[in-house]
Amino acid sequence: MKKFIFFSIFGSMVFAQTGLEIAKMVDERPTPKDMFSKTKMILTNSKGQSRTNVMISKSMDGNKKQIIWFLEPKDDKGVSFLKIEHSDQDDEMRMWLPAFKKIRRISSKRRGDSFMSSDLSYEDLSSRDLTKNEYSRIDDEMFDGKDCYVLKVTPKKEAKSSYSKHLSWIEKSSLMAVKEESYDKRGELKKNKAYTYKKLKEYFVMERIFVEDIQKNHTTEVTFLDLQVDTGIDYNLFHEKNLKRIPKM
């Protein structure tokens, strides 16, 4: 799960001055081979009502393969999700529905749809294709005591984005995005995103994301607990037969 989101941002080192060059280096940043975490996602609506989801996530190949087992809420316990991304065809997604005792393949082509009713859409969770976006660098800024590059990312038409632009603050030392503002098609601020990281082995990995949908007055806080990287996850794990059994932590 963590990696799943991790890729939505950027991923590499930045030395060049143009927006595109910075984006390229962020994109080329080294990532773990596999990742394991217990993920807690708290959704809060405008009335202060909250929903909490807890799940176990395992992923590999830069998040191209991911399996999630739901632990909470109680209603969802036992439901699990497998995703395998393909570069030349639609992503393969399967779910185990314990009440029906059936595995069902699912598909979503709507990039703007929310992921699990959170404020993160599939588009937010996907890596940005450098060729489908325009990157321009604007004045550097300090954010939360960190010296940051600020990039303006404008999706091209072929990106089929639900946004008109993003402003991203990228910490110069780690080349990790620490803040992002996303604007809707009307040009109005839609989401504020804030990211915090920690260093595991030689990687910077995300440990918390906080997203606020300004227009809906809804927030999502995702926290990655028990983070482990490069644990040697077996490739065969990403098979539908493994959906039915929740792994022990």
Partner 1 sequence: MTKIKSKFSQNPIRSWCIHQSLDYPWRTIIISLLVTLLVGSGVKFFLIDDDMMKILPKNLESRISWEAIQDEFGSTEVIFIAFGNEGESIFNPEAIATLWDLTEALETGKQIEELNSIATATRMDNLDGFMEVDDLQPERNLSQEEINDLKEYLDKNTVVKKRFVSEDDQYFLITVQPYNSEGLNLFRDELVAIADPILAGYEVHYGGQAYVTGTMPAMIRDDVQDLMKVGILIMVMVLLLNLRSVPGVAMVFMVIGLSLFAMIGAMGWIYQLTGSDRFLFTLANTSMPIILLTIANSDGVHVVSKFFRELRAKHEVRLALGSTMDSLLVPIFLTSVTTIAAFATMTLSPLEPLFGYGITIGIGIAWAWFLSSLMLPAVISLKKWNLKSKAITELSIFEKVINKLGKIVLTHPKYVFSAGAIIVLIGLFGISKVVVDVNMSKFFKPGTEIRDTMDFMDEKMAGTVDIRVRVMGDMKNPQTLSSMRTLQKKMEENEKVTTSFSIANVVEQMHRTVMDDNPKYETIPDNREKVNNLFTVYSMSGDLDDFSSIVDYDYKTGLITAFSKVMSTDEIFAYVEKMNGHVKTTMDRNLIVDFTGMIVILRDLVIMIVRSSAISIIFSLIVIGIIASIFFKRILWGMLAVIPLTSAVIINFGFMGYFGIELSHITAILSSIIIGVGVDFAVHYIAQFRRLSRIIDANKLSREVVDDVGYPIILDAASNMGFGALLLSAFVPIQYIGGLTVFAMVSTSIGTLTVLSALAELLKQRLIERNV
Q: Which is nearer to partner 1, 87 or 107 (CB)?
A: 107
Can you tell me the distance from the alpha carbon of 156 to that of 134, in angstroms, rounded to the nearest whole number? Answer: 7
Q: Give 46-77 as a DSSP string.
A: TTS-EEEEEEEEEEETTTTEEEEEEEESGGGT
**DSSP structure class, residue 238:** S
Question: Does residue 62 touch partner 1 according to CB under 8 A?
Answer: no
Question: Does residue 238 touch partner 1 according to CB under 8 A?
Answer: no
Question: Does residue 239 touch partner 1 according to CB under 8 A?
Answer: no
Stretch near partner 1 under the rule CB under 8 A, chosen from 28-36, 68-76, 193-201, 239-247:
68-76
Indicate the length of the chain as a whole number.
249
CB of 126 to partner 1, least distance (A): 15
Stretch near partner 1 under the rule CB under 8 A, chosen from 104-112, 143-151, 167-175, 201-209:
104-112
Question: Does residue 245 touch partner 1 according to CB under 8 A?
Answer: no
Q: Which is nearer to partner 1, 33 or 77 (CB)?
A: 77
Question: Does residue 113 touch partner 1 according to CB under 8 A?
Answer: yes
Binder to partner 1 among 104, 156, 239, 244 (CB under 8 A)?
Answer: 104
In the numeric block, the tokens 């995300």 are attached to 206
Look at strands 133-143 and 146-155 and give their pairing: antiparallel
226 CB-side CA count, 13 A:
13
Can you tell me the distance from the alpha carbon of 144 to that of 171, in angstroms, rounded to the nearest whole number? Answer: 10
Can you tell me the distance from the alpha carbon of 63 to that of 51, in angstroms, rounded to the nearest whole number? Answer: 25
Amino acid at 153: V
Q: Which is nearer to partner 1, 117 or 174 (CB)?
A: 117
CB of 76 to partner 1, least distance (A): 5
CB of 175 to partner 1, least distance (A): 31
Please, which of residues 117-136 interact with partner 1 by CB under 8 A? 117
3-state secondary structure of 211: strand
Which tokens go with 209? 């994301």
Q: Which is nearer to partner 1, 41 or 153 (CB)?
A: 41
Mark residues 31-50: x for contact with partner 1 by CB under 8 A, - for none: --------------x-x-x-
Contacts of 130 (CB under 8 A, 6+ apart): 20, 23, 24, 27
Residues forming the site for partner 1 (CB under 8 A): 45, 47, 49, 51, 70, 75-76, 79, 81, 93, 95, 97-100, 102, 104-110, 113-117, 185-186
